[in-house]
Amino acid sequence: MGACKLGAEKKIVEQESNGDLGVPSCSMSIDINLPTSEKEAQVRDVCRTLIKRWNCLPDSHFKVETVSGGITNLLVKVSVNNEDGDDLPVTVRVFGPHTEIVIDRERELQAIFYLSAAGFGAKLLGIFANGMVQSFIDASTMTPTDMNKPKHAAEIARQLCKFHQTEVPGPKDPQLWPDIFKFLSKASNLQFEDSAKQAKYASVAFSELREEANALKAVTDRLNAPVVFAHNDLLSGNLMLNEKEDKLYLIDFEYGSYNFRGYDIGNHFNEYAGFECDYNLYPDKDSQYHFFRHYLSPDDPESVSESELEAIYIETNCYALASHLYWAFWAIVQAKYSPIDFDYLGYYFLRYNEYKKQKDLCISIAQPFLLNLH
């Protein structure tokens, strides 16, 4: 019927709202709460609007598959067949409701453009009101156990080194502490309708959290850690591996910003524990040194000196503490606003308890190093 007519009408919207990033954009949105058939219809309409060669394709030529529904976004794979043969599939990423409270979407879109040009992640193909269309990456998501394998750890380190060398225009002030205190401020003024959640929330000692954040900031400020463009969310779900081609991909840059090098690495090490927070899986010193060698000198890992290894080891493990605070405070905010069925308040306690467990050891390891800096 009027698939071609529909495409022609929406082409005007696309041209009018095409943004500075040089990709098509439109004001359409996808409601993730709709029944599957209606949601898939919205996905097809978005794809017809943003991908010109698909403008006139009927519904029967589309195949829509849910890839994942994580704790932030919904990912959908869209494949088509047309008269010219099969096109490459695309990924439609729909932002979770209220995620703009914890994610700067404008910053993300700006970064994707430059990171994609540098060879990272999927290519940005189009933008709609509550999400984006990207090229599909033919690879499998890694698991926390995968990340710890020496071969994979070395490749992640090499890729992260290259990632940290990417220049993204915009303010270069590290965002860690502004974000931590922003989350803490939002988290400390909430009210839950659910009585069990409210009781858990009431047990959070916010004055203590602020003291801990200020004290840790004072320590990490003395480390003078390099500031790089950081991924900030390098968990296993944001690492993909094509085993046939032996190719690793860093994906999903929604938390990306300029930040401290040690924070990005320490946050990655914390993610060895997975969402279950099994911190027995946190990498030991030898495993960390293996990672650092390939990060600091990808072409000649054995050339890295002991003093360089010790310095980045201290930097990373101090910032791993900051990672616990960041995601603990983030989790309280998500407990209020996210519609996703996940025990965010329970996650807060897991992260903050691990922070308290590791704090004294990490700070004591850092003290001799900090004294030598002055």
Per-residue CA distances from 311 to 270, 289, 316, 362 (Å): 19, 11, 9, 13
- The DSSP output letter for 80 is E
8 Å CB contact between 259 and 240: no
Checking if the pLDDT of 14 tops 60, the result is no
Q: Which amino acid is at 285?
A: K
CATH of the domain at 148: 3.90.1200.10
What mean pLDDT comes out for the span 125-136?
94
pLDDT in tens, 202-220: 999 999 999 999 999 999 9
pLDDT in tens, 244-288: 999 999 999 999 999 999 999 999 999 999 989 999 999 999 999
Domain termination residue (choose one: 135, 169, 196):
135
Confidence of residue 10 (pLDDT cuts 50, 70, 90): very low
Assess whether 120 and 161 both reside in one domain: no
Least confident of 28-42, 58-72, 324-338: 58-72
User: Based on the number of CB atoms within 10 Å of its own CB, is 274 exposed (0-12), middle (13-18) or buried (19 or more)?
Assistant: middle
With helix as H, strand as E and coil as C, how does 83-109 read?
CCEECCCEEEEEECCCHHHCCCHHHHH
What mean pLDDT comes out for the span 193-201?
96
Confidence of residue 109 (pLDDT cuts 50, 70, 90): confident
Confidence (pLDDT) at 70: 58
Per-residue CA distances from 203 to 102, 195, 198, 325 (Å): 23, 13, 9, 17
User: Strand ranges (DSSP E) for the chain?
Assistant: 62-69, 73-82, 85-86, 90-95, 124-128, 131-135, 140-141, 227-230, 239-242, 247-250, 257-260
- pTM as predicted: 0.89
Owning domain of residue 148: 140-372
Judged by DSSP in three states, 221 sits in: helix
DSSP characters over 241-255: EETTTTEEEE---TT
Confidence (pLDDT) at 6: 40
- Residue 149 Cα to chain centre, angstroms: 21
Domain termination residue (choose one: 115, 135, 155):
135
Confidence (pLDDT) at 135: 94
Checking if the pLDDT of 50 tops 90, the result is yes
Assess whether 274 and 322 both reside in one domain: yes
Assess whether 349 and 231 both reside in one domain: yes
Could you tell me which residue, 240 or 15, shows the higher pLDDT? Answer: 240
As for how many domains the chain has, the answer is: 2
Domain termination residue (choose one: 92, 110, 135):
135
Could you tell me which residue, 67 or 229, shows the higher pLDDT? Answer: 229
How many residues in the chain?
Answer: 374
Confidence (pLDDT) at 1: 39
Least confident of 11-15, 156-160, 175-179: 11-15
Assess whether 125 and 211 both reside in one domain: no
- The DSSP output letter for 271 is G
Report the half-sphere exposure of 228 (CA within 13 A, side-chain side): 18
Assess whether 170 and 104 both reside in one domain: no
Assess whether 167 and 110 both reside in one domain: no
* Six-digit token string for 122: 């999927």
Confidence of residue 21 (pLDDT cuts 50, 70, 90): low
Assess whether 113 and 156 both reside in one domain: no
Confidence (pLDDT) at 71: 58
Assess whether 131 and 160 both reside in one domain: no
What mean pLDDT comes out for the span 156-164?
98
Confidence of residue 7 (pLDDT cuts 50, 70, 90): very low
What mean pLDDT comes out for the span 41-62?
95
Assess whether 201 and 321 both reside in one domain: yes
Assess whether 214 and 324 both reside in one domain: yes
Assess whether 124 and 184 both reside in one domain: no
Confidence of residue 85 (pLDDT cuts 50, 70, 90): low
CATH of the domain at 90: 3.30.200.20
Confidence of residue 357 (pLDDT cuts 50, 70, 90): very high
DSSP characters over 144-205: HHHHTSHHHHHHHHHHHHHHHT----S--S--HHHHHHHHHHHHTT---SSHHHHHHHHT--
CA–CA dist 105, 117 (Å, integer):
19
What mean pLDDT comes out for the span 89-95?
94
Q: Which amino acid is at 36?
A: T
Assess whether 107 and 191 both reside in one domain: no
Least confident of 103-112, 231-240, 301-310: 103-112
